[in-house]
Structure 1
C-alpha cells in the first residue's frame, strides 16, 4: 500500500515534469501517423477510430491504438493492445512491452479519447512522443495542445471539430 503511494507520487512528478519540459516545435508537416489512447470503460468503437483515420487520410498501418483496461472487472476488451494500472512502474516507465512500444513510437497526432482523471492514462499521454496532442475536456488540460470541448459520446461532433482545426493548422494532406 505504501509502495503504491510512492509509485503514484513519482508518476505524478513525471507528468508535471513532462508537461513543463515539453517543447512544441511549430512545423508545416502533414499528419502521416496517428496514435489513439482510449479508456476501455468509456470508449469501445474501433470502427469509428478507423473511419476517423480514413477521414484524416492516414493509412491503417500508420494508426496505433492503445487501450487502458481494468482487468479486475469481468469484461473483455475489444482492443488488442491494452495496458492496465499494474503495468505502470516508477517515473513514467511501463512494464508492459505493448505500452512501451506505443509510448516510444513517434506520432504526428495523438488523440486522447478519455475523460477520466486516471494517472496511468495521464502518464501514457505525457510519455508519448507526438507532434500534436488532441484531447477531450479532461481534468488535466496541460497534457494536450488542443482540447475539443465535447462529451466522449458526441463522436460526430468531435470528428467534425478535429477536422476543422486540423485544416486551420494546415495539417491535413
Structure 2
C-alpha cells in the first residue's frame, strides 16, 4: 500500500514535469487526424466520435480512440483500445504496447473527453504528441489548448461548440 502511494507521487512528478515543458503552438493547419481519450466509466457512447469525425472532415482511418476504465467492460470495447491503472509503472512509464503506439502518434487534434480527476488520464493527455489538445473542463487547465465547458453527458452541445471554435480557428 505504501509503494502504491510512492508510485502515484512519482507519476504526479512526471506529469508536472511534462506540463512544465509543454509549449503551446497553435497553428491554423487543418485537422486531418483525430485522437480521442475517453473515460468509458463517465461516457459510454463511442459511436458519437465517428459522427464527430465526419462533422470535422476526418476520415475514419485517421480516427483513433483509446478508452480508460477502472472496471473493464469488454463487451463495450470491441473497436477501441482499453487501458486501466495497471498499464502504468513508475515515473509515468506505459506498459501497454497499444497505448504507447497511441502516444507516439502525432495527431492533428487530441480530444480528451473526461471530467474525473484521474492521474492516468491526465498522464496520457500530457504525454501525447498531438499538435492541438481539446478537452472538457477539468481540474488541471494546463492539459489542453482549448477547453469547452460542458458536462460529459451533453455531447451534442460539446460537438456544436467544438465545430464553432474549430471554424473560428480555421482548423476545418
Q: Tell me the TM-score range normalised by the shorter chain.
A: over 0.9
- Indicate how the Cα distance of structure 1 residues 2 and 77 shifts in structure 2: closer, same or farther if over 3 A, else same: farther
Distance of aligned partners of 1:83 and 1:146 in 2 relative to their CA distance in 1, 3 Å threshold: same
In structure 1, C-alpha distance between the alignment counterparts of 2:31 and 2:169, rounded to whole Å: 11
Is the CA contact (8 Å cut-off) linking 1:40 and 1:77 kept in structure 2?
no
What is the Cα deviation at residue 77 of structure 1? 5.2
* 4+ runs deviating over 4 angstroms: none
**Structure 1: gaps of 5 or more residues:** none
- TM-score, scaled to structure 1: 0.94
Aligned-residue Cα RMSD (Å) equals: 1.2
Instruction: Give the 3-state SS of the residue equivalent to 1:129 in structure 2.
Output: coil
Counterpart check, 1:121 vs 2:121: yes
Query: For each residue in 1:22-46, what CA deviation from the matched residue of structure 2 results, as whole angstroms up to 9, or x when unmatched?
Result: 1122322110110000001011112
Q: Give me the whole-angstrom Cα distance separating, in 2, the residues matched to 1:143 and 1:11.
A: 15
Report how far residue 119 of structure 1 moved.
0.5
Instruction: Show the counterpart of 1:93.
Output: 93
Match of 1:145 in 2: 145
Pairing of 1:3-152 with structure 2 (within 5 A) = 3-71=3-71, 75-76=73-74, 78-79=76-77, 80-152=80-152
Deviates more, 1:151-160 or 1:23-32: 23-32
Once residues 124 and 107 of structure 2 are traced to their aligned partners in structure 1, the CA distance between those partners, rounded to angstroms, is: 13
**Residues 136, 147 of structure 2: 8 Å contact kept:** yes
Structure-2 separation of matches of 1:69 and 1:19: 24
- What is the TM-score when the length of structure 2 is the normalising length? 0.94
5 Å-filtered alignment, 1:154-173, equals: 154-172=154-172
- Counterparts of 1:29 and 1:134, CA distance in 2: 15
